[in-house]
Structure formats: C-alpha cells, structure tokens
Amino acid sequence: MPKILLTFLKILLSVIVLLILNGCGLTPPLTTDLEEYASRLARVLDSSFPDVRSDTTLPYPSRQTLFNPLEEAEITLPDFYSIQSCELGTLVAERNTTLGKQQDAAASWVYESALVTALENCVRKLKQTDENPSLANRLDELRAMKATQLQKVWANLIQTSTETRQAFSQSKELITADSNRDAESGINALAWLTTLPDAGSVTSEQINGQLKILESSRIPAKVWKSQKVFSAHLSALNRLLPAHLADINCDNGKASEEAEILRNVFYLFFIERIQPAGSQLNQYMYKLQPALNALQTSPYLSEAFKGYLTERELEFRQYREVMAEHIGLWQHFLGRCNLSPQAG
C-alpha cells in the first residue's frame, strides 16, 4: 500500500474515532452549553475569554478512615449450650459458619439487627424463668454492646459500601434540565437508607435493592459535580463581563444593536438552557437536604465523612451566590438598556 494512502487512512481513522467519541457525549451538555455561552458572548464583544477548566473531583475519604471496626463478642461454650432454647443459639451458630463470616454490609446489618432482637428475647425469657440470672445479666450486657455496634454497622454501610462511595463521589454525568436517570428514585433510596435504624425488620435484598438504586442514580455526586461546573464557568464570566457590558452604548436607555444581540445570546443560552439545569439542580439539592442533614447530625458517622458533606454544602452556597451574581449583572445591564430578557 502506498505510504501516502496509508497516512491518509490513519488520518481518516482518527477523524472517525473522534466523531464517534464526540457522539458518545463525553462532554456533558451542561459543560457544552456553558462553553458555547461564553464563546458567543466573547464573539459579540470582540474579545477572547480564557478557557475554563473546572475541577470536578470529589475527594472522598479513604475506606480506612471511615470504617468502624467492631469489637468481637464472645460467649463461652457452657453459655452457648444454655441458650439453645432461644433463637439466639441458632444465630450464634450461623455466624460461626464460613458463610456467616463473609457477609456484605446489608447482610451484616440484618444479622446484627436480628441478634439484638434475639438477645432481648432471650434475656426476657431467662429473667421470667429465673433459671440462670447470671447468664441473663451477661447477655443483657452483650445486648447493650450489640445495640451500639448495630449503629456502627449502619455507619459502615452508609460510609464505606461500594454503592454509597460511588453515589457520593463518582458521576460522569452532570445535571440536565429534563433527563436525569433515576434521580428521584436515588433521592428516595438515600432517605430510606438514612432511616434504616428505625425501619424495623428488613431483608438484605431490600437493603441491597436500595443501594443499587442509589448507585445507579449517583444523584449526590451528580449534583455536587454540577454545582462545581456552574461555579467555575459563571465565576469567570462574572469577573469578565461587567467591564465589557459597561462599555455597551445605551444612551438615554435606548438599546444599541450590540446590546440587543447580547440580550439574545443571554436569552438563548442562559435563560433557555443553563438556568433550567440550575433550577433542576436546586430542586434535587433541596430534596436531598433532609437526608444529608440527618447524616450530618448522626453521632455514629465519622468526622471525615461529615467534613466531606460540609464541603459540598459550602460549594452549594458558593454556586447559588455565583448564580445570583450572574443574574444580577444581567438585570443591571438590561435595565440600563431598557431591554426585556426575552429575545427579540
């Protein structure tokens, strides 16, 4: 094959691959809209705005930092034989199997929850019969310890399970105005998992089902990454636009042609595309807030995890301030030029 033809084919292949990758939507629509918005404004203003590189990483704490180790509870062989008439005996025997020692977070919660209930029932039965008061007291102490541990098992599930780590820190997608996969289901799943300690009897299948929904939606990470993108791009425009807009001629409140073109860009990109995505982000964040507040106030979750949530809350406030500032500078400009936000 001639060298020139081979080179041409390589170039053609590179172009095809690039087109395919672009077609796969590697750049989220929100980022594309913000970049195009800035590009159009710069073009009208005959200026060049620097490219914005928004850092969307969410530095989630390590599993080692977040994991609560559980103290092993031991029971003597004579005591083990003494509780065979209780459901507790079956649970203890189950835990000692190989399968019992390899439980996932959901199965661990179900087992520990059942163990606390079984300890309560066994203690009650022993005290009623008064057959072995010393054993009843030992089991009651064990019950108190296990009740506290149960909260730590829940904390481990929330902080360190694969599904929640993904949901809290990783999302390739950003918020859109009208298509956010499993968002509402993900919000409901997080709320359900947050109130798990008060949910009563549940199965590991139910817990894993909610974890999978949360992982599929990744709605917390999607919201948090999106607000960082909003802040980065609009902050840059908020620094650059005021001086440029101040130079636009609107003598006696009469809009120049350039002012009208700028208004049209603002309407077509910000009002029609960008602001609706921001409104959707606000709605999701407000719906997530009750669960996030509950996690923030839980005494069983680590300070590192709470600090992570606090950082995201501060970024949300920054995003709202940047958005309000951007809208404010346009309101000032449009008012000075006696223009409606609607495109002409």
How many alpha carbons fall within 13 Å on the CB side of residue 181?
Answer: 12
**Taking 60 as the threshold, does the pLDDT of residue 2 lie above it?**
no
Tens digits of per-residue pLDDT, 285-301? 999 999 999 999 999 99
* CA 318 to chain CA mean position, Å: 17
Give the mean pLDDT of 218-224.
97
Q: How confident is the model at residue 121 (pLDDT cuts 50, 70, 90)?
A: confident
Contact 75, 168 (CB under 8 A): no
Rounded CA-CA distance 335/327 in Å is 12
Q: What pLDDT sits at residue 53?
A: 87
**pLDDT, averaged across the chain:** 85
Name the one residue in this structure whose structure tokens are 């350039």: 258
Tokens of 129: 């019969």
Rounded CA-CA distance 21/12 in Å is 14
**Taking 50 as the threshold, does the pLDDT of residue 20 lie above it?**
no
In the chain, pLDDT over 90 holds for what percent of residues? Answer: 59
Sign of the torsion angle spanned by Cα atoms 78, 84, 85, 86: positive
Name the one residue in this structure whose structure tokens are 């005021």: 242
The single-letter code of the amino acid at 78 is P
Give the mean pLDDT of 186-213.
93
Q: What pLDDT sits at residue 65?
A: 93
Closest CA to 139 of 99, 97, 85, 96: 85
- pTM to 2 decimal places: 0.83
**Taking 80 as the threshold, does the pLDDT of residue 128 lie above it?**
no
Q: Which residue has the higher pLDDT, 79 or 223?
A: 223
The single-letter code of the amino acid at 302 is S
Alpha helices in 178-256 (DSSP H): 183-194, 204-217, 219-246
**Taking 50 as the threshold, does the pLDDT of residue 251 lie above it?**
yes
How does 146-181 read in b/e, with b if 16+ C-beta sit within 10 Å? beebbbbbbbbbbbbbebbbbbbbebebbbbbeebe
Give the mean pLDDT of 44-67.
92
Tokens of 341: 């936000």
Give the mean pLDDT of 57-78.
79
Using alpha carbons only, what angle is made at residue 286 by residues 285 and 291, rounded to the nearest 5 degrees? 85
Tokens of 196: 């798990």
Contact 183, 283 (CB under 8 A): no
